[in-house]
Each structure stands twice: as structure tokens, then as C-alpha cells.
């Protein structure tokens, strides 16, 4: 295998603060606030308008998705993604830094990191520690909106980083990929309900292994070290030298698995975009495993 030099997936709050202080933000460096919260909890756009990293634009994941799909948070088309990020002043030559305001330190930012990568953009990083630690460390915030000059972004879908329902179904027989589910243990087992879900029981895809994404983060909200991450994969007998597919409920926290593996030197983890939201509604009952009511286990 040809050794690939990986772009830094994480940048520190100190590095970003220095970039802001020295006026580095512009066409070559853009910052995105990708916060999203369950309806009725926090209002991501309102919080962004009140305070955000100076120069940051709001990346609305509700807008930048396939709104025609019956499933949650599915990828938009190449043209839609290119148009959306172009309006945020992002070109193919821009280093993009993504953060969110979740109390965990990071929740939706890895999804946007993966979205850029799946559309062919490699110069993208997650702010390690998120907005939570940006505030805690006393870095500047503003309510001033950024108005970046629109840019031209060309999106090219990298199908190696994306898996469809049909491909995951085929994989149950071929077992070419190891399937890893990033949801909490209770939701994976089917003993806890899926939050804010109507008509969606919990459980998992037959043959998948559970690695809750929160285990990748420290109590302070930072990504664990590559050594700690490798140990987590080893504990679950997930071989990072073999092909992996990451899944969750709607293809969001699955991207934490892709990010953790990337930090361990594995950049090729594919994400099943439809994840459990699609699988539960489409797959044969015998492929759905649950210890809950009506489960197949």
C-alpha cells in the first residue's frame, strides 16, 4: 500500500485563536459553526447569532442535505453541496475548520468534516475541544456576522468513503467490511429507545460491533490520543488494517468512528449514510437485531 500523507484532522483552540488574532481568516482559511441540537432543546442558529468564533459562518446541516429523502440527514448532491459551501466563501483551495457547541466538545463537526472529504476536499479539520473549550479558555467571541465573498467549489463524490443500503446488505454475505455502530450501548442493543424518533425502534444491523462515539472523547471534550484510540479499536477486536463501514442512527456520529480511525492513520473508513434510520425501514427483519420488544435476537 502506498503511504499517504494525511492532512491534519484536528487543530487546537490555541492555533485557531492565533489565526484569528493575526488576521489569517479569509479565502484560504474559513471557520464553520456546525452546531445542531434536538428540537426543543437548544437553538443552534440563535446561539450562533449571539456568539461564535470571530469570522465563523453558520453551516446549517438541515439545509445542506437531501431534503427529498425520507431518511434523516442524507448527503446532498454534488451540485447542492458545491453551491452551499461556495456561498460560504469556500473554494477547493480553502482550509476549512469545523466546530460545534455541543457540551460533549464535539458532535456534528465530524459529520461536516466527513462531508467535505466525501465530496473530494481534503484540507478540512475539526476544532479539537470544540466551542466548549474555546469559551472555557477565554478566546474571543463575537455576534458580528461574517459576509465572505462567494467562491467556486467543485465537488467530486468519493464513493469509496460512502456506502449505500444495497452495499451494506451485500456485505452481510460477503463480509468484506467490518461494520461498526457508534451509538450508545442501550440503543445498539435495543434496550433504550431512539431519542426523538417516531416509528423507529432501537437495535442494530446483524454482525455489527458497538463502539459508542463518546468513548473517543475525554471528559474535557477533546479527542483522545491516537494510542488511546487504537486501544479502543483493539478492545473491540476491530482491525484497522481491514476495511470498515461506520454506522449509527443517521450517519452523524458514525463520522466520529471515521475521524478516530483517521487519527490512527486509517483514512478510508466508509460511512453508511442511511444508517439505522434507513436500515430499520428497508432491511429484512432477520437482519435487525434487538433485545427490546419484538426484537430478533
Query: Which are the catalytic amino acids?
Result: 248
Location of C-alpha cell 456520529: 253
Cell matching residue 125: 479539520
The H or E element spanning position 110 is helix 109-118
Sign, CA torsion 220/246/183/188 = negative
- 128 conformational bin, left if phi > 0, alpha if psi -120 to 50, beta if neither: beta
Cell matching residue 45: 442558529
CA–CA gap between residue 31 and residue 142 (Å, rounded): 13
Contact criterion met (CB below 8 Å) for 157 and 78: yes
SS3 175: coil
Contact criterion met (CB below 8 Å) for 223 and 256: no
Amino acid at each position: 500500500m502506498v503511504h499517504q500523507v494525511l492532512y491534519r484532522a484536528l487543530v487546537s483552540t490555541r492555533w485557531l485563536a492565533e489565526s484569528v488574532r493575526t488576521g489569517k481568516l479569509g479565502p484560504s482559511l474559513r471557520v464553520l459553526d456546525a452546531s445542531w441540537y434536538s428540537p426543543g432543546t437548544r437553538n443552534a442558529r440563535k446561539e450562533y447569532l449571539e456568539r461564535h468564533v470571530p469570522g465563523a459562518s453558520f453551516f446549517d446541516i438541515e439545509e445542506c442535505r437531501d431534503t427529498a429523502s425520507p431518511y434523516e440527514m442524507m448527503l446532498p448532491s454534488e451540485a447542492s453541496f458545491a453551491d452551499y459551501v461556495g456561498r460560504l466563501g469556500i473554494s477547493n483551495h480553502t482550509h476549512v475548520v469545523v466546530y460545534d457547541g455541543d457540551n460533549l466538545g464535539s458532535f456534528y463537526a465530524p459529520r461536516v468534516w466527513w462531508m467535505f472529504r466525501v465530496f473530494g476536499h481534503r484540507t478540512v479539520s475539526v476544532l479539537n475541544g470544540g466551542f466548549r473549550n474555546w469559551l472555557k479558555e477565554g478566546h474571543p467571541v463575537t455576534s458580528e456576522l461574517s459576509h465572505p465573498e462567494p467562491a467556486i467549489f467543485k465537488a467530486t463524490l468519493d464513493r469509496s468513503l460512502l456506502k449505500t443500503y444495497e452495499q451494506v446488505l451485500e456485505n452481510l454475505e460477503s463480509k468484506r467490511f467490518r461494520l461498526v455502530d457508534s451509538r450508545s450501548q442501550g440503543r445498539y442493543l435495543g434496550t433504550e429507545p431512539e431519542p426523538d424518533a417516531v416509528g423507529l425502534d432501537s437495535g442494530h444491523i446483524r454482525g455489527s460491533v458497538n463502539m459508542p462515539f463518546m468513548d473517543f472523547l475525554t471528559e474535557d471534550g477533546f479527542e483522545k490520543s491516537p494510542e488511546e484510540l487504537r486501544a479502543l479499536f483493539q478492545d473491540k477486536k476491530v482491525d484497522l488494517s481491514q476495511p470498515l463501514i461506520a454506522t449509527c442512527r443517521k450517519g452523524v456520529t458514525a463520522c466520529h468512528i471515521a475521524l478516530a480511525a483517521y487519527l490512527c492513520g486509517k483514512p478510508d473508513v466508509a460511512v453508511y449514510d442511511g444508517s439505522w434510520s434507513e436500515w430499520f425501514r428497508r432491511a429484512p427483519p432477520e437482519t435487525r437485531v434487538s433485545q427490546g420488544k419484538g426484537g430478533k435476537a
